[in-house]
A and B are shown apart, each in its own frame.
Chain A
Amino acid sequence: MPTRLSFLRVLVRRLCTERAAVRRIHWNVSDEGHGQAAYAVDLGGSTYSLVAISNDLPADQRSDRVIATAWDAAFVLFDGIASSDDIARIAIQAPKQEAGRFSPRDLVLSRANKSVRMWDSTVAALRAGEQPDPQMICDIGYLMRTTAVYGNGKFGIADRTLVADRPGLEGPFAAEMLTVYLIRHFTLDLVQHVGGGTLDPNLARHIGIGNATGLGMAPFLVNHPVLLHNWMQARETALARVLARETMTEAQATRLRMLAMRAQHHLADWIVPAEDHNRILRQLEEDWALFAHHFDAVHAERSFAALWNAAAGESDTLQELLAALLIEVCPEDVDDLAQDMGDRFGPLIVPFADTEALKSAIEAKWGWALAHDYEDADQCRRFWYVSEAKLEPRLGDRFAEPGAELETPLDIARRVAQLYADLPTAALPVSEFTAQHPDHAHAINRVALLNRYSYAEIHDNLIAATCRPIDMLRCKLSFFGATKFDPKSDLWTRITLAQGAPLGDELRPEMDDWWLPAMER
């Protein structure tokens, strides 16, 4: 579940605090909606521009996959105010996406496809002098869906370290979140241009920006253990601070009840086609309704911990939702934690004194990894790899498909188990051991990492036949601030970002109230 520590929320909160305003600085768009546009916004004393290139895309080329080669629109977040020369350069490079080359002033590269049903319906309504169907907005939630948002040096764009000290961009993925927020603004602008009408702000606010995302997020989590630790630690610290409050105020109790009701409405609006996931959602909706009497009973002098303890026997899903709610109600306990969610330095780890210390660390913290029999085919059936087709991350069956020898090393649990089995009975300096077993250095590093960063490791066997990448995707996307998860398989999902967020001319502190938004009833 998204929380007020989610990266998009943190970014929009900052924009609201600064009372930023999105300005259109360039518009050369045909009546059909094709052409170029640019928007500027000030954040933390710097100005950033979104350059948007909108194309006429044949329907048969519209695909969410990384291996697609054309999109409805392409975007670059530019450092500064984009000049006409910058826009002209980006107009040539951005539609090429991975095949283009970019400069250090280009901070983020992205592309998006239309939700054709939502787009056509909204244009038709506006042309008829009407508003789009609120139910459709609820069901789909966005006019366009990004299918990649590239940052941190890819294809020549700026390395993250070049802007990581900028006020407002210090947090993880802050530049990417600014990009998707501005893309959402562009889609609203574009549909009103093509439709020749003005959207009701209450409807427009409920139109977010979609995203289709897949397997690449899972390797990211494994390959950025310090970031994962910092995200989780911030969230756990936030919850611990709230639960440590001895009482709640009347204002907090009132807000808790209001947000609990909003969450109930959000769940009712969140219906997905995948039957198994929809079953979970419907169960959560029912459980939340049954749990509601606890919110009715909250009052000043009652503790947050009492409410939390009341959910002890409830499902993990309900507890996740409750944790996000409690965090939402206490911003003064929570918001400062956002500044510690990045990783500016990489892992600072101390080597083990010897192989005995290494063995003890494995026994203390890796029981979950040692518990599997990796000789069992189903415990090692899958292998992660990178395809030569646009370097798309994929997942294969090592017993049925070629390529397992090129496996990406995400099999951390198996590697640590193999390391443990090979450790000598008598203590040795670790460097003496790795001189004989250089292949174990990766596992040793992971054990050292987990010794210092408690939340750095995903406690699962990522090569087991039962591994569900969708769970890792959801974890990362929740930290982004995603809502309305709409899984299409165990490998990928669609989501909505910025639904309910203030519009580009509404960025004021009082507008930062869009946790689990629900269409007005």
Chain B
Amino acid sequence: MKETITLKIKDLFEDIGNQATFVGSFFRNIFRNGFEWNELIRQCYLIGLKSLNIVLITGFVLGFVLTLQSLPTLQQFGAEGYVPNMVSISIFREIGPVITSLICAGKIASGIGAELGSMKVTEQIDAMDVSGANPIQYLVVTRILACTFMVPLLVLFADAVSLLGGYVGTSTAGGMTAALYFSKSFSSLVFSDFFPAFIKSIFFGFTIGFVGCYKGFKANKGTESVGIAANSAVVAASVWIIILDAVAVQLTSIFVYNQ
């Protein structure tokens, strides 16, 4: 029993060390000669544009459902006029970045984990390495940067579509005009609602890319490890997003809202 615990603790510290080395080699390789611009653009397309549909649908449904769920409660207090304010603030500050990033963790981190895991198992990464090419620069730097750039953009799209979903929800319940709804939504938003959320979604994007690449590179020989890489990438990225969000909320409360 004691030996098992010791071994697990040793493995944990070894894994932390490996992750630190991996993130170090990512930053070192960003600034090396021969940056893979074409691959970065291709990854931005694959990660950004190919995830847009699912993000838009989720965003729309989020706004719609949030409105329908909160409307009856607010009506009891005669505060249904505040639905647009409530929806826009909660979407922009919290729900938009977190839910969109969790969706991206499911779609993107698993995809990267499975792709790189499969390349590792079939010796493609070894082939790049022994040929004298740089697999970190070609595979890792491009994917992590693409996630870091594209996830915040996807969050912005999801936020916008959520407002539309909120309006559709309000109008279904016989609410207000579009002009009034959007005017109320935007009037309640200030820069401090938008900016910290945007910054944290950059970190969420980095986390999704990093975890996907790390899990893929860590896959050992065998097809089973490809599935494990994909699965553990989603789990680890999701957990990290939630932890980072908790930290970001605390920091925002202290530094932005001075609470």
Asked whether A and B interact, the reply is: no
